[in-house]
Amino acid sequence: MKVVDKKLLFIHSSERDSGAINDFKISLPSHLLACEPHQQMRLVLNDLVLPYTWYNVQATNNQFTLVEEDSADPSHYHSITLRIDEGSYSAMELAAKLTWMLTYWSHHHLTYTVTFDPVSAKFTYTIDPFEWAETYIGGLTFNTDSAHSLLGFPFDEGVSSSTGFFTHLGAGLGNQLVSPKTVSMMFTDALHFHTDVLNTNVDKGTGEGRTFHLSDVFAKVPINTSPFNNIIFQNMNDDYLVNIADRRVSEFHFWFTTDRHNVIALNDDFSFTLKVEVVEDDEKTLVAQNSGLGELLKLMVLQQHQQQKQQQKHKRGDRKSDD
């Protein structure tokens, strides 16, 4: 393949024609990105600079349900689904937030204290010891938009067939519940950058998630810096390259998701560079040229053969006339 033309597109999300920072479209004059019928265009993500300023608590990871049970009759329980306010939290700040939320929304007016152990990186949920004689913590449950990672719980265990919730009791002592896993304050470990240009990348995360299939994921951007810094992505080997089927491009659609394919809300605009190359297939062109030359030579041989036959015919006619 031979590159016959190359263009760099410097795109800033603030230049979008529609959509939001995390999901937008841009329009282009149709003559800027075009190729001839015997040519093909391909798209490469050259680089990306993204501010790491999104909230680690968002609408897709902030929900959980508190269950309080009657110690005399465990079949009597009360549950309430809660949502943590969106924002950027440290583990200590989230512990203080949970202390207020659980106490305020407790059905039995219990006083909760949530503490974070920086050594084990786990939360401990405790009811005031003078209040838990008749009621104890039944557990925390999770479903969609789950806060399981934030609160130190696994996601894929203890599914209740009746409610569809993910139920976890943790290490409980009646008035105390310790998160079974370490707390993760990361909203996502990486971002998936999507484009509407057809490609041959494959993943299993979208749809029903049961099988691998062609994906609209253009590139995977790792989170390799601390919050409130810039994530700088540089494509060194043209790994993220997709072929453009159309002969002209007048619009692009770009959007981000988390590494679990959940929606992510970004707080600040970002920029990236696309490289659009126009290529020709040298071998295919050479074969086509050789085929054309072969057909021409064949035609010339046939013409010469026909001329020789005509000349021989004329000679035989001249001999007969002489006789």
Domain limits, the chain = 2-54+187-280, 63-178, 282-323
> What is the per-residue burial (b if ≥16 Cβ within 10 Å, else e) of 268-304?
eebebbbbbbbbbeeeeeeeeeeeeeeeeeeeeeeee
Residue 109: predicted pLDDT: 85
Structure tokens at 8: 């760099």
Task: Say what the pLDDT of residue 283 is.
Answer: 63
- Residue ranges for the chain with pLDDT beneath 50: 157-173
Q: Say if CB 93 and CB 177 are below 8 A apart.
A: no
Alpha-carbon span 307 to 309, nearest angstrom = 5
pLDDT at 158: 38
pLDDT of residue 139: 73
Q: Are 254 and 33 in contact (CB under 8 A)?
A: no
Q: For residue 165, what pLDDT is reported? A: 38
pLDDT of residue 160: 36
| CB-CB contact of 244 with 197 (8 Å) | yes
Does the model's pTM come out above 0.85? no
Q: What is the reported pLDDT for 166?
A: 38
Q: Is 200 exposed, middle or buried (0-12, 13-18, 19+ CB in 10 A)?
A: exposed
Cα separation, 305 vs 299, whole angstroms: 10
93-107 burial: b if 16+ Cβ within 10 Å, else e: ebbebbbebbbeebe
305 bridge partner residues: none
What pLDDT shows up at residue 73? 62
Q: pLDDT tens, 304-320?
A: 777 777 767 666 666 66
Q: Give the domain 2-54+187-280 fold.
A: Jelly Rolls (2.60.120)
What is the C-alpha separation between 211 and 6, in angstroms, rounded?
37
The model's pLDDT over 2-22, given as tens digits with 9 standing for 90+, comes to 888 899 999 999 999 999 999
Q: Are 26 and 274 in contact (CB under 8 A)?
A: no
